[in-house]
Amino acid sequence: MDKIYSSPEHAIADIPAGATIAIAGFSVGHRFATSLILALRDKGTMNLTLVCNSLGDPGATRGQILAENRQVKKLVAAFSIRAGTPTASEAQIAAGEMEVELVPQGILVERCRAGGAGIPAFYSPTSVGTALTEGREIREFDGKPHVLEQAIRVDYAFLRGYRADRLGNVQFRGGSQNFNPSFAKAARVAIVEVDEIVEPGGIPPELVDLPGIFGSRIVKTTQAVDGKAWRRPERRPSDKPRLYNGKPALTRAGLAKRAAGLVKEGTYVNLGVGIPTMVSNYLQHRDVILHAENGVLGYGHMVSTDEEIDPDIYNAAGQFVALKPGASFFDSVTSFEMARGGWIDTVILGAYEVDERGNVANWSTTDAKRGGIGGAMDLLSGRGDLIIVMEHCDSKGRPKLRRECTYPLTGKGCVDYVVTDLALLRWEKDHFVLDEIAPGFTPREVIELTEMEITAAPNVKFME
C-alpha cells in the first residue's frame, strides 16, 4: 500500500467543481497545507464549500486566496470576518455572493469527529440562548437545554503534518494537531502535506497521531515557510492608558495583571485573544496551568526572540509561547472536551459588551453571518468562573457595561467578574458590585461612566 503522490497538483487533480473541502490549520499561518491550497487555486476549481476555522487575512496562503479567486460559494467556519481586517470574503459575504454558516470552534471539530465516527447528530449545551440556535431543535437533559447539532462530512480534507510514511501514518508536531484529526476523519479523501516522508516504521508507533487508515494521500510540501515570520505585530505601538475625565486609567498590562490576581492557585485557566493573552505574563510563578484551544496544556509566557521561538508552540491567539515542565499537546476535539466537560476552572475573555444580567457579547457587532465566534461559546458552556477583561468604554466613548447587550450574545447569565481599565466588578446573586476602582478616580465617576446599574461595595479599594 503506497499513498505517496508525486506533487500537490497530482494529489488534488480529481477535485471537481462543487466539492466540499475541510482545510485544517490554526491562527495566522501555523501549519496550513499551503502547497495544496496553491495548487487548488491554480487549478481554478469553482463553487467550493470550505470548512475551516477561518479563511485568514488578505493574501494569506489559506482559504482566503481561494476567495480572492472567487472559487468559494459557501463557508462553514468559526470566523467569517475579523474586525479591522477587510477581505475579499467579507465583501462577498456582505454582497450575498458567499453563503455562511457560523459554527462555534469546538462544535465545528466535534461535528466533523461525529461525521467520521458514523454519528449523524448529537446534542450540545454550546450556543444555547444565542442567535445561532434560533429555529433549531432544543431538548433538556438534566434540566439544562441542549441544541441538536448535525454531523459534518466532507469530500476532501487538506491537512498539514510534520512527517508521514507510505502507509498514510502521520505525526504532528507540538501544538499543530488542532483540526487535523477531526477533519481527516470527516473526509472521504484526506490529503496530507508533510515536511518529511519516511518509510513504514520510520515513525515510532507511539508517535503516530493519525493512523494510516485516515490518511488517503501523502505529498511532500513544496512551500518552505519561515514559521518565525508568523509573529503577530501589536496593533497599538505602545500600551498607553485611555483618558477618562482627563485622567489616565489602567494600561492593558495593568488590566491583565489585575485579572491575573483573580486566578486561584491550583487551577486550570483558559485565556482568550486580545488583552487576556497578556495575563500569561503574570502567572509565570503561580500554581496555575494554562489551556489553549489549539491543543496545549501547560504553556507559559509569550516569547519573541528567535532563540525562544518554536513555530509549533503557540497559544490560541497565534502568539509564540514558552512551555512549562509537564506540558502536553493534543487535538482540538480533546481541547474542547476539557472546556465543555467542566475541566477548566477559569476562563478569561475579552468582550464588546456585558450587561446587568451577566450576559456577554464578544463575537459580532452585526449579525450571525459576520463575526468571529472562535471557541468562546464552547468555553462558556463549561462550569468554570468567567472573568471578562475589557476597556470601560469603546473607542467612541460609549459604555461597554450596558443595561442590555445590543450586540448578539455569546452567553447568558455567565459572567462572574468584569475587569476594566476603571473598575473591578463582581457578580453577587443578581447584580454587579463595584469592588475596586482605578487610582485617581472616585466610585461616583466610575458609576457615571457605566450604563448598567451597579452597587458600590462598602469599602471600594483602588486597583493595584
pLDDT tens per residue across span 97-118: 999 999 999 999 999 999 999 9
Q: Is the pLDDT of residue 232 over 70?
A: no
Catalytic residue among 68, 90, 193, 293: 293
Q: Is the pLDDT of residue 365 over 80?
A: no
Average pLDDT over residues 282-303: 94
**Domain membership flag for residue 207:** yes
Q: What are phi and psi of 386, to 5 degrees?
A: -115, 120
Rounded Cα distance, 40 and 28, in Å = 20
What sign results for the dihedral spanned by CA atoms 225, 231, 232, 234? negative
- Half-sphere exposure (Cβ direction) of 18: Cα atoms closer than 13 Å: 0
Q: 383 pLDDT band (50/70/90 cuts)?
A: confident
234 is catalytic: no
What's the length of the chain? 464
Q: Is the pLDDT of residue 370 over 90?
A: no
Question: Facing residues of 178 across strands?
Answer: 331
Q: Strand 138-141 relative to strand 144-150: parallel, antiparallel, unpaired?
A: antiparallel
Rounded Cα distance, 441 and 249, in Å = 9
DSSP of 267-281: EEEEE-SSGGGGGGG
Check: CB of residue 332 under 8 Å from CB of residue 30.
Answer: no
Specify whether 300 is located in the same domain as 410: yes
pLDDT at position 180 is: 97
Specify whether 155 is located in the same domain as 262: no
pLDDT at position 233 is: 47
Specify the CATH number for the domain of residue 29: 3.40.1080.10
In the chain, the number of structural domains is: 2
Task: Tell me what the pLDDT averaged over the chain comes to.
Answer: 93
Specify whether 190 is located in the same domain as 247: no
Specify whether 217 is located in the same domain as 319: no
Containing domain of residue 376, as a range? 243-462
Residue 382's identity, in one-letter code, is G
